[in-house]
Structure 1
Amino acid sequence: MEVKDVKNAADVITADTNIIEAVQAHPEIMQVFADYGLGCIGCMAAQFETIGEGAGAHGLDVPALIKDINECIKANAAK
């Protein structure tokens, strides 16, 4: 698994992005996870799971989640 540097708002979060790394770089996306019913931050698996793996395990629409995460990051960067 390739781990991307996700600290820059211009970086796009993908299904292959590690959950914890994404949230540490962009804390505002915790609300998106909550909106989807994911308590990823409290889950031990979040340390090694990707967003796609975690969301897929819960039967969620991964592309929709990724889209919403990236929209949240863009909106926050525009502030």
Structure 2
Amino acid sequence: MTITKDTIIGDILTIAPQTAPLFMNIGMHCLGCPASRGETVEQACMVHGVDPDDLLAKVNEMIAAAEG
């Protein structure tokens, strides 16, 4: 699965829980909250002042590495 700006954070955490630290590092400390889990990557990045392309590259790299 390739993660895009429109992917919901909760969906990412369900399929790749190892990515949680990446979201924590951008300031998303409430990953268990329904509001944050329902945001898209783009929405979360906008709120936290992060470049979504940079975050997406890291998330997709981590998922690819786990899939081997």
TM-score range, shorter chain: 0.7 to 0.9
Fraction of identical pairs, as percent:
32
- Residue equivalent to 2:16: 26
RCO higher in structure (CA 8 A, sep ≥6): 2
The runs of 5 or more residues in structure 2 that have no matched partner are none
What displacement does 1:33 show? 1.3
Structure whose CA Rg is larger: 1
Q: Which aligned segments of 4 or more residues in structure 1 are displaced greater than 6 angstroms? A: none
Number of matched pairs: 68
Instruction: Note if 1:45 corresponds to 2:24.
Output: no
Q: Please list every run of 5 or more consecutive structure 1 residues that lacks an aligned counterpart in the other structure.
A: 1-10
Are positions 1:72 and 2:62 aligned together? yes
Instruction: Tell me the alpha carbon deviations over residues 40-61 of structure 1, each in whole angstroms, 9 at most, x when there is no partner.
Output: 5133312321011011111111
